Chain A
Amino acid sequence: MKYLFLLYGPDRPFPPPGTSESREMLDAWNTATEAMAKAGVLIDCAPLQPARASPTVQVRNGQTLLTDGPAAEIKEQFGGYTLVECADLDEALTWAATLPAASDRAVEVRPVIKVEAPR
């Protein structure tokens, strides 16, 4: 079963590359995701640009509406994701807790519906 870890936290930019803060962050993430890859559960993962970098698209009555910013005005923004394949929820929760974001932000563990992707 696939689970998408949604990483929520304050919408702030990443520390500038090359700084010790940035290196520490990258090290922590590499350690966590390498363990997942080694265990064979990791499918994909990525950080996202800050939510204010987003435009939002809505098509209504054939008209494409473009608005600046994220779809929902909330304090905690969606800042990255990790997609894993696990046997069950308990396994997914164990991995979710190993992510650095679980310690200072929040990780929502969302079950993914299985569908055949178009080819």
Chain B
Amino acid sequence: MAAVTAQVGDLELAEDAVQDACAAALAQWPADGTPANPGPWLIGTARHKALDRLRREGRRVEKEAEAVREAGASPPPGGWPAGADDELCLIFTCCHPALDPAARVALTLRSVCGLTTAEIAAAFLVPEPTMAQRLVRAKRKIRQAGIAFRVPAADDRPARLDAVLRVVYLVFTEGHTASSGEALIRGELCDQAIRLARALAGLLPGEPEVTGLLALLLLTDARRDARIGPGGDLVLLADQDRSRWDAALIAEGETLVERALRQGRPGPYQLHAAIAACHSGTRAAADTDWREIALLYGELIRYEPTPVVEANRAVAVAMSEGPAAGLVILDAVGTDPRLARWPQLHLARAELLRQLGRRADAADAYQAALQLEPPVPERAFIGRRLRELESQV
């Protein structure tokens, strides 16, 4: 897809042409045998199909046909190459900040990861025609606005890379803490995000934030199986069976986060990864170095001055200095109207109030979290806590 888009200069046309080329391969390869270089064969065929389409449709012929011609009439020795740069161009194009964030995520999954429209629609729980429409609009905007198919210039690079990393992170979090639906984790989205992060880390080995993001995803994903109880309910970090954590993913993630931090250019993803490594390197929840984690969240606030980070710091402070100290920070954060609608804040407050023995206040906070309609598995967890509190009264 990336190589063909680079040559025809239009994402929509490239997608149709690649589909045509794959259909041709399905028809020809079983009879004629698979070509020696299937990749270049597909790219060369897609290129011809793109020209065919342009001629047939008589649309925008000038610009794109010119682009195809400019790319050379006959293939170079060894056939059309599928370059790593093309893939990077495709990722940067799909994650362009001029596109709506939801469209960036969908387009990346479609064009870079190769998911079908139906699969993406299912992953985000929207009807397929809605997702198809979103994708068409995004591709049209790329063409109409003249978004170039290239890696951004050095000046724009940091901001544009942030947008790319954000998309990968959104794909992962949507999989890891599914915001809607019955299932708490949608594994296929986590897998796609990790695949993307690995590709980016391979393409941009000198960017510590890319390495940091990959480390973060691996360390978080290592806990995937342990996060879900037998009934499909959420298991909190402290209660997870750590023998079920994936040791290989943890080892890889820890190596990566160390390598990134050694470059001396810290950033939010590296700090998130360092926090995740504090947990994954501890055999028993009781041995967790919460003081270190509270410090890392304190650092993180410099990059992400959000009440969510402050709330997480409050939890770490509660763990190292006691629930009362954490509650002081949480109560201050709770005055932010944006955060008052965030069920996790009320859940965190409820947990601290419960630990302090303030049962009635804890029950109120659990109820407040419930009213904000958290995901189904979290609702089950809150229900259990409420029943425990009632039985103690």
Hey, which bits of chain A sit against chain B, CB under 8 A? 1, 3, 86-90, 92-94, 111
Report B103-148 residues with CB < 8 Å from chain A CB: 144-148
Q: Verify B144–A88 contact, CB threshold 8 A.
A: no
Q: Verify B148–A111 contact, CB threshold 8 A.
A: no
Interface residue SS majority, chain A: mixed
Task: Select which of A1, A86, A90, A111 is within 8 A of B152 by beta carbon.
Answer: A90
Residues of B within 8 A of A92 (CB): 146
Q: How far is the CA of A3 from the CA of B145 in the complex (A)?
A: 9
Closest to B160 in A: A90
CB-based closest 5 A-B pairs:
A88-B148, A1-B146, A89-B146, A89-B147, A88-B146
21 contacts between A and B (CB under 8 A): A3-B146, A86-B146, A87-B148, A88-B146, A88-B148, A88-B150, A89-B96, A89-B98, A89-B145, A89-B146, A89-B147, A89-B148, A90-B148, A90-B152, A92-B146, A93-B98, A94-B155, A94-B156, A111-B144, A111-B145, A111-B146
Shortest beta-carbon distance from B294 to chain A in Å: 39
Report B142-196 residues with CB < 8 Å from chain A CB: 144-148, 150, 152-153, 155-156
Residues of B within 8 A of A94 (CB): 155-156
Residues of A within 8 A of B146 (CB): 1, 3, 86, 88-89, 92, 111
Most chain-B CB neighbours within 10 Å: which of A88, A90, A92, A111? Answer: A90
Shortest beta-carbon distance from B260 to chain A in Å: 28
Shortest beta-carbon distance from A60 to chain B in Å: 30
Q: How far is the CA of A92 from the CA of B145 in the complex (A)?
A: 10
Q: How far is the CA of A90 from the CA of B153 in the complex (A)?
A: 9
Task: Select which of A1, A90, A111 is within 8 A of B156 by beta carbon.
Answer: A90
Shortest beta-carbon distance from A113 to chain B in Å: 8
Shortest beta-carbon distance from A104 to chain B in Å: 22
Residues of A within 8 A of B148 (CB): 87-90
Residues of B within 8 A of A1 (CB): 146
